[in-house]
Amino acid sequence: MHSQDTTKYLIHLKIEAEGVVRKSDVVGAIFGQTEGLLGEELDLRELQRTGRMGRIDVQIESVKGETRGDVHMASSLDKAETAIIAASLETIDRVGPCIARVTVDRIEDIRVSKRQQIIDRARELLIESFDEGTIDTNVIMDSVRESSRIEKIIEVGEEKLPAGPNALDSEAIIVVEGRADVINLLRYGIKNAIAVEGTNIPETIVNLCNRKTATAFVDGDRGGDLILSELVQVAEIDFVAISPRGRSVEDMSRKEIIKPLRNKIPVEYIINKEGEVDIPELHHRMEMIDSSTRERARRHQEEVRIQKQPGSLEWHMAEVKEKHTARILSKKRDILGESDADLVDDLLSHIPPESHGLIIDRMVDQKVVDYAFDADLAYVAAPDFSGIVKKPVSLKLIKIS
């Protein structure tokens, strides 16, 4: 839009037109309606030709028959001359055939803007780029632990395959794609991984899989699918775990790694009639497992939410907990009466007919059960029950922890 080397100021204009106009109309109006207005020395065409004014940048949009937008003009003139040029542009009253209005929004001093950028960047550099030399013991310890884990990588077989230190001694191995996968598993304490290092499965991997319980753990991409297919054809793989689509084992967090390993699938479940890996079936099963896990988590959250809702038995129990209180509830679990837990027999002898249950913060014995039965209650909820020899069929005893 303008020369960064010579520009001093940037004129910001607002333009409105009562009709649909194009950028070329705006540029034409600027040159046409200012021509001869300020004399030859400040003629826009001449100023542009000599490089003292930059080209005119127009950004407009037409909506519902009206056009609005911004115009920017760069100036290498001095402050007074730039202000005169800017003021002259406000005399424009038509663009093409349409009535228009041009106003100066502001005149930006490019040098001031650059200085502010320098100041802001210098602040960032001051904060981020200087080494303070402070000692963080936790950082040092984490770094040492990380190094010790990586140094524990061993080389296995004639192919010198990268593996965790327990890969040879463990009864089970995890076959991964590359060295970075082994390192990441070591980072989270998984020491029995070994990498195939390519799509051609090494003989060492084949021999280890024949002797040990083998789990193939591959990336969730096309490469992982190919390696898995090759593995299953040449080696005795027992289980298959796979990363989520688009994820690599080397980049996953501990939680993300543990999940597919915990949900690994027996290999016979994903082998088709030709004895090959059914990749779509594998991903379908993994998605089903993930869906089932999410559903169980959702149900658990819903149960917890319901339990915490005001009016639930658990909520009432939490309300009376450690207060040694007894509470009579209606069928809708409204509170109909309350007393000290040791005075529950008196409370039960004076309850309204709509009473439905008893919540009590104490151990319930046969005596309380008998009182509750005589009061025609449907349930008694308590932290514990003891010495109940005869429980009425119509009375439900609910233990709430």
93: pLDDT confidence band, cut at 50, 70 and 90?
A: very high
Q: What is the pLDDT of residue 124?
A: 76
Q: What is the mean pLDDT of residues 216-228?
A: 89
Gyration radius of the chain over CA positions = 40
Q: What is the mean pLDDT of residues 340-363?
A: 90
More confident residue, 214 or 8: 214
pLDDT in tens, 138-166: 666 666 665 555 557 899 999 999 999 99
Q: What is the pLDDT of residue 276?
A: 80
- How far, in Å, CA of 364 to CA of 315, rounded? 19
**How many Cα atoms occupy the beta-carbon half-sphere of 223 within 13 Å?**
14
- How far, in Å, CA of 86 to CA of 80, rounded? 10
- How far, in Å, CA of 54 to CA of 173, rounded? 69
Pick the CATH number of 144-295 from 3.10.129.10, 3.40.50.150, 3.30.360.10, 3.40.1360.10: 3.40.1360.10
Buried b (16+ CB within 10 A) or exposed e, 248-261: bbbebeeeebebbe
Stretch(es) of the chain classified as CATH 3.30.70.2690: 9-112
329: pLDDT confidence band, cut at 50, 70 and 90?
A: very high
For 10, the token pair is 């940037």
1: pLDDT confidence band, cut at 50, 70 and 90?
A: very low
316: pLDDT confidence band, cut at 50, 70 and 90?
A: confident
More confident residue, 350 or 355: 355
Stretch(es) of the chain classified as CATH 3.40.1360.10: 144-295
pLDDT in tens, 251-296: 999 888 998 898 888 888 888 877 788 877 887 777 777 666 666 6
CA 167 to chain centre: 34
- For the entire predicted model, the pTM comes to 0.42
Say if residues 358 and 372 touch (Cβ distance below 8 Å): yes
Q: What is the mean pLDDT of residues 53-61?
A: 90
Buried b (16+ CB within 10 A) or exposed e, 299-310: eeeeeeeeeeee
Give yes or no for residue 83 having a pLDDT over 50. Answer: yes
Across 2-11, 77-86, 110-119, 232-241, least confident range = 2-11
For 207, the token pair is 């021999």
Pick the CATH number of 9-112 from 3.30.70.2690, 3.30.365.10, 3.30.70.560, 3.40.50.300: 3.30.70.2690
Output the CA torsion 322→323→327→333 (10° steps): -60
Query: What's the mean pLDDT when you consider all of the chain?
Result: 85
Give yes or no for residue 5 having a pLDDT over 60. Answer: no
134: pLDDT confidence band, cut at 50, 70 and 90?
A: low
